[in-house]
Structure 1
């Protein structure tokens, strides 16, 4: 379902609809910058009967609409300029299967145009108005992008905390039995991701999936890692990339990464324990 927002350009309220393809702007509202809203339909109709407009619309449709009927659009162009030629948006859409324009009924009703076309229409109304329209539209998009970023960060935070609830309560998965640290034959065929997995967790991704078939469909072991483990993992990736550039073999890299993982994870977990213990003491 389309989501409508309202922007105000030179004291004129203009609806913006978020459609599947992109944002569409109500050109019926834009027409209000030239005359009373009651004459908006006539203004749009006069704009549509112009050959330059039809050329622009046809090129736009050919660029973005594989179902556009070019042959039918030529009939419109041939009649452009004739006094008897008074096409409507509905006729243009129905006969050419255009997607750049559409007519909406009910609340926020009117003629809507893809933002590219809406800006072109605004040029015909007033070049100055077009500039203010673009500026206000860009402001809207910046606000929406900021909001999406905040929502994404919040979801990531909540998601991570959900994982922590699972891992802190009881490692909510089975830990595979392994001898990866003692028997290094697996290294010859291991991918870089598994070298990191074994260095940090002590087992490969496949071993975790085999031990946890119910969870493996939608998750992997890293989804159940703690913040400290993910922090160390990020550091391991950097160290590993550096050692690869130095030409070190898998065995040497694995041993180094395992030492780094144990050392860093030990420091982080100890610091977290001390912090938690201090908090508990202050409460009591």
Structure 2
């Protein structure tokens, strides 16, 4: 019960904050619409569009109508595409979800493997490589790697056409770039967790009995390491939907993040608010799933 109450209050707080912040943007969507269609910024034109999109109502009334619509599954109409926001989201979501999900999945797999071998031979070559990855991902922006790939493979070698309407090549490279940047942090988490477990008495006992350290870590220490890895991955699950925004823009992938960037530029209130709400619901489902897994894990451990 307390769990649901907490998330209900979080939902109300996020909805109010996102609604108010969006409306503090310096230029209104009405002015952006008039500029888009090269119409004069007269008071009559502004009043007409303001009335048409319901922006003439008070902030409280606008928030109430938007919140009721959200709870009914109606995200409103995009000011610029004039299509339902929900339709736009579900049409673009597969691109962003595929990039985010597969990049995080591969990052978890590779991070566990690299972190395991880096922990076995501390200060070895793999340990140094993982440290280098961690520093590189914090200091080198991902869009520079994307631009280099476009220039080398698309301009110099000309084996891939990135802007021909086929987003498959850009999506594949986006997956591996995001995977690389997520691995930088996750690999060190796995490595440090394995190193801390080496100091446990039961690990030392197995090693003294003649078992190799590699076997002991892999056979008896993988569960707490996986738990730490999954815990760190929960915070990265928001990137499954929105983490590829820069890469979608660079590779011109028609995903939901690319749509968000265009909507921010256009001051499309309904799209921006719906996106924030969508990410909130996604993170709620991820936390709920993780808590259920953790609950059953504890139950089995007690048995």
The TM-score, its normalising length taken from structure 2, stands at 0.25
Of Structure 1 and Structure 2, the greater helix share is in 2
Higher strand share: 1
Query: Which structure ranks higher in relative contact order (CA pairs < 8 Å, sequence separation ≥ 6)?
Result: 2
Structure number with bigger Rg: 1
TM-score, with length taken from structure 1 = 0.26
